[in-house]
């Protein structure tokens, strides 16, 4: 017989770190906002506040995964988002 452990799905089977998923989510949400809104409005700030709350709880849930390298990648990701914001506003 085949052991039952073979069919149990491994935890975090996709092997994508939560920090990378968080950075990708940030880029997707902000680029959708940048391309769909012509002027910065209250909705833009509400969505960014919601994204900040999502980031807070995601980081808090996966705190043991955030090493120094992951934190630097997260900060560089947000710096890229800010740069993207200013580049799209100038066009």
Distance CA 11, CA 9 (A): 6
What does residue 48 show for φ and ψ, rounded to 5 degrees?
-65, -35
Domain ranges of the chain: 16-90
Residue pLDDT, tens place only, 30-89:
888 888 777 778 888 898 899 999 999 988 998 888 889 989 999 999 999 989 888 877
Write down the pTM of the prediction: 0.71
Residue 6 CB-half CA count within 13 A: 4
């Amino acid at each position: 017989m085949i052991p039952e452990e073979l069919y149990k799905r491994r935890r975090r089977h996709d092997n994508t770190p939560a920090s990378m998923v968080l950075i990708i989510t940030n880029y997707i949400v902000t680029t959708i906002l940048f391309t769909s809104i012509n002027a910065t409005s209250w909705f833009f700030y509400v969505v960014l506040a919601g994204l900040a709350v999502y980031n807070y709880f995601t980081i808090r849930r996966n705190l043991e995964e955030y090493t120094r390298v992951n934190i630097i990648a997260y900060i560089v990701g947000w710096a890229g988002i800010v740069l993207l914001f200013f580049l799209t506003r100038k066009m």
